[in-house]
Amino acid sequence: MVQRVCCLGLGAVMGLAASPPATAAAGRDSASVVASEAWVRLPPPAAAVAAGYVELHNGGAANRLVAASAAGFGQVQIHAMRMDGEVMRMQALPDGLPLPAGKITSLRPGGYHLMLMMPKRPLQEGQHVRVRLQFAHGDALPVAFVVRDGMGGPASQHGANR
How far apart (Å, rounded) are the C-alpha atoms in residues 70 and 109? 20
Per-residue confidence (pLDDT) for residue 82, from 0 to 100: 87
Question: Looking at the domain assignment, is residue 65 inside a domain?
Answer: yes
Asked whether the beta carbons of 138 and 12 are under 8 A apart, the reply is yes
Coil, helix or strand for 109?
A: coil
CATH value at residue 87? 2.60.40.1890
Q: Which domain holds residue 56?
A: 2-148
Bridge-based pairing state of the strands 73-84 and 128-135: unpaired
Residue at 103 is within a domain = yes
Residues 35 and 143: their CA atoms lie apart, in Å, by: 7
pLDDT value of position 102: 95
User: pTM value?
Assistant: 0.76
Give residue 34's pLDDT: 94
Q: What is the number of domains present in the chain? A: 1
**Residue 159 is assigned to a structural domain of this protein:** no
Kindly report the length of the chain.
162
User: Is 134 within the bounds of a domain?
Assistant: yes
| Percentage of the chain exceeding pLDDT 70 | 73
Which segments in the chain show pLDDT lower than 50?
5-31, 152, 154-159
